[in-house]
Amino acid sequence: MWRNFPLFPDTASDLAREVDALYFFALGVTAFFSLLIAGLIFYLGLRYRRRSPDEVGRPERPAMALEIVWSLVPLVITMFLFVWGARVFFSLSRPPADATEYYVVGKQWMWKFQHPEGVREINTLHVPVGRRIKLTMTSEDVLHSLYLPAMRTKADVLPGRYTTLWFQADKPGVFPLYCAEYCGAEHSRMIGRLVVLEPKDYEEWLAQGGRAVSTVLVSGEQLFQERSCATCHRPDAATRAPLLHGLFGKRVELASGGSAVADETYIRESILNPRAKLVAGYDPVMPAYQGQLSEDELVQLVIYVKSLGAAAPAGSTSP
């Protein structure tokens, strides 16, 4: 019976094991000193209790060595925990440069996942063993939080911006995923599965599940053309709108006098509300697409703009 109620969730990555090691070390230190202090209080209370009404205690001499010890020992332990915890935190919060990027949209009350191959899933995410996976996430409505217990990682999913988390599963299996932020009446139903497959099985799943006719990148390019974005965002029309080639990741100067980094959130905001961070030297002629694009379409456009890494050749009319 107890097998149906595990004390701890499955562990399916090296980082998850490191999180567990840090947690159990902190728990062990806390338990040891709690018992030690409680035991000393009990012992000293008995040892130095008042034995007669006329007994008078003697003045205690300062014990400098004891004062130093009980100050240095907690300092060393807490600094050790801080350094270890900071290293684990930075490892969890910094996706590797070679991670494969998947896009996630949270919505009351479901998770929508977009594979780089174009396959889409709802409340289930299939990934291969051994591949570093980066999840770029946004919300379509309210605040959510994607929690993967087996990977010991969690990140808030916010409307209007992109957040990330990453993991690398090291064993196949089916693991739960949850929304860890109360998001409405059906919050408890916003659950799903992380299905980790061997690389060969993952490729078979892609084939059997119907590898998308077009990748996310191709879909983004088609949407870019359909929405007439290429009318202004092309090299021979650079005086009307900023060039998108090589834009992603660069710092752009704003008409307001400040600057901004052209990341996913900046591109998304510029599509929905172009006047929010107008680029210096350009007029506010771009229409706002607020309410005209779904989050899935925004993801496709963001991926397409990110793909325009190199500058377009001179005289080219392609976007």
> How many domains in the chain?
2
Say yes or no: 227 and 283 in one domain. yes
| Residue 317 pLDDT level (bands cut at 50, 70, 90) | very low
Does any domain span residue 25? yes
Lowest mean pLDDT among 61-75, 156-170, 237-251: 237-251
Distance CA 159, CA 32 (A): 44
Say yes or no: 148 and 243 in one domain. no
Does any domain span residue 59? no
CA distances from 215 to 134, 212, 229 (A): 17, 6, 19
**Residue 274 contacts by C-beta under 8 Å, 6 or more apart in sequence?**
284, 286, 287, 288
| CATH label of the domain that carries residue 253 | 1.10.760.10
With left for phi above 0 and alpha for psi between -120 and 50, is residue 237 left, alpha or beta? alpha
Say yes or no: 245 and 169 in one domain. no
Lowest mean pLDDT among 58-62, 69-73, 137-141, 260-264: 58-62
Say yes or no: 245 and 187 in one domain. no
| Residue 154 pLDDT level (bands cut at 50, 70, 90) | very high
179, 196, 212: which is the final residue of a domain?
A: 212
Q: Residue 6 pLDDT more than 70?
A: no
Q: Look at residue 209 in the predicted model and tell me its pLDDT.
A: 65
190, 212, 234: which is the final residue of a domain?
A: 212
Does any domain span residue 21? yes
The percentage of the chain sitting over the pLDDT mark of 70, rounded to a whole number, equals 91
Q: Residue 210 pLDDT more than 80?
A: no
Q: Look at residue 283 in the predicted model and tell me its pLDDT.
A: 81
Say yes or no: 90 and 208 in one domain. yes
- Give the residue numbers spanning the domain of 252: 216-307
Say yes or no: 129 and 155 in one domain. yes
Say yes or no: 182 and 249 in one domain. no
Mean per-residue pLDDT of the chain? 85
Does any domain span residue 316? no
Say yes or no: 257 and 157 in one domain. no
* Tens-place pLDDT, residues 126-140: 999 999 999 999 998
| Residue 213 pLDDT level (bands cut at 50, 70, 90) | very low
Does any domain span residue 72? yes
Per the model's pLDDT, the better-predicted residue between 195 and 308 turns out to be 195
Does any domain span residue 222? yes
- Environment class of 23 (CB within 10 Å of its CB; exposed 0-12, middle 13-18, buried 19+): middle
Say yes or no: 105 and 136 in one domain. yes
| Residue 198 pLDDT level (bands cut at 50, 70, 90) | very high
Say yes or no: 257 and 152 in one domain. no
Model pTM?
Answer: 0.76
Say yes or no: 163 and 227 in one domain. no
160, 188, 212: which is the final residue of a domain?
A: 212
Q: Phi then psi for 261, rounded to 5 degrees?
A: -90, 130
Distance CA 288, CA 276 (A): 10
